[in-house]
Amino acid sequence: MSTPHLRPSDHRGGERTRHGRSSTTTNGFCKPQRFRVARSRARGKDLPVLITPMPGSSREALRSALINVHETIVNLRGGGGPDALSRALAYLDWCHEAQRRLRNQVRPAELDYLVPPKSYEVVLSAAGSFGFGPSGERLINGLVSTQLDERVSVLQAALDDLTEQVKRFERHAELLVLDTNVYMEHPEKIEAWDLAGDLYLGFEDVHIIVPLVVVDELDKGKRQGTEKGYRAGYSVAYIDRITNEQGGVIRPKDFSVEEKARGSVTVEVLLDPPGHVRLPINDDEIVDRAVAVQALAGRPVRLVTYDTKMAMRGRHVGLRVHRLEQPEKEKEEEKHPRRRRGREAKGGDREAEVEQIRDPAVRAARAGELINVRQQSMGHLSRIRREAMEEMVADGLNHSQIADQTGLARQRVGHLLAAPPADKTLAAEGQPAPE
């Protein structure tokens, strides 16, 4: 099964990001991403909602209640009474009982889908208006039969979908939801980060769950002309590639070297279900999705974040929370903002900083950013970028992979690697060299 979709929220309203920018409320996102979506079927159509346990309930209690009301209406469809009026009254009685059984198990929107008030009102009105005579009997029988068939079909689809989602999270792995700021601010890339070691999980397998709202935030964040923007773009491209080409496996189990032994690391994207309306605040939406997964999994989900307010939100709803400390470099810059601004005003210091970046992809992307804003010594920066890209080629990356990691077009990567190296003499004198 591909990525599951979680329950819709009962909250309404336009969505705002944590940074004050408007965020999409649609189910999709920009075209380059191709995350796969699972569909629930009811009579050949997409199930408009996904039934999940309310906070305080459990998947076992919800499944038991669904089975009970489903079996009751199946029996009612096979019998129900000697005449049309008796069948109608039996259906209305089932509606009352189903509402009572499910009221504390699912949210109001989901309850209205399973036992719609409109169908109750239609049958009640028909029973009161056409209760006598052959024509009335025929009309009521047809109406009740239609409603019974619909309810049986919908309840069966809800049961099947709930079972499918529960199986999805029965894997023996620690379930993690990473806040958006983790992808953008953590010093290590997602594939290089020792999650199990840093979160004290030992040799446990790790499964990362990425709510679609996080993908949308990363997609917006990649437009920033900073290293955080590069991290955002790289993360969303990497998650897209790894879920589509490698089945979501970031790293398999490896116990070959004792001091580096770790369990597997996998990732999946949770797409919004059909008709889903997000919460107005993205932090709340991320937490809400994590809570829904926790209810389906029947075990704790761990929320990882740099944000204190996000950590408080997670603890309040019963998630396990791991709050990371900000990287030391950022802490030092926060203490000395004037020193940071003065250093950034000097092109030479910026170039020196770029040369010190170990990761060739980050180094190439940062050099390209400085070239784009026409800083000094463009020849020097061009050489830095080219050397970084040559390192990536030596590491076995093709032009498409380099393009994903540096934010350049694939054709541009090929052009830069094929061009003659920049003249180091000109670069040293601070004169632009041809790219």
Q: What number of other Cβ atoms are within 10 A of residue 73's Cβ?
A: 26
Query: SS3 string of the chain?
Result: CCCCECCCCCCCCCCECCCCCECCCCCCCCCCCCCCCCCCEECCEECCCCCCCCCCCCHHHHHHHHHHHHHHHHHHHHCCCCCHHHHHHHHHHHHHHHHHHHCCCCCHHHHHHHCCHHHHHHHHHHHHHCCCCHHHHHHHHHHHHHHHHHHHHHHHHHHHHHHHHHHHCCCCCEEEEECHHHHHHCCCCCCCCCHHHHCCCCCCCEEEEEEHHHHHHHHHHCCCCCHHHHHHHHHHHHHHHHHHHCCCEEECCECCCHHHCECCEEEEEEECCCCCCCCCEHHHHHHHHHHHHHHHHCCCCEEEECCHHHHHHHHHCCCEEEECCCCHHHHHHHHCHHHHHHHHCCHHHHHHHHHHCCCHHHHHHHHHHHHHCCCCCHHHHHHHHHHHHHHHHHCCCCHHHHHHHHCCCHHHHHHHHHCCCCCHHHHHCCCCCCC
Determine the pLDDT at residue 285.
93
The tokens 């998630």 sit on which residue?
A: 319
Residue-level pLDDT at 378? 59
Any idea of the CA torsion for 190, 194, 196, 198, to the nearest 10 degrees? -110
> What is the pLDDT at residue 375?
44
Residue pLDDT, tens place only, 20-71:
443 443 333 333 333 433 334 443 444 556 677 877 778 888 999 999 999 9
Return the pLDDT at 71. 92
Low-confidence ranges of the chain (pLDDT < 70): 1-50, 80-81, 129-133, 256-260, 328-352, 356, 371-381, 420-435
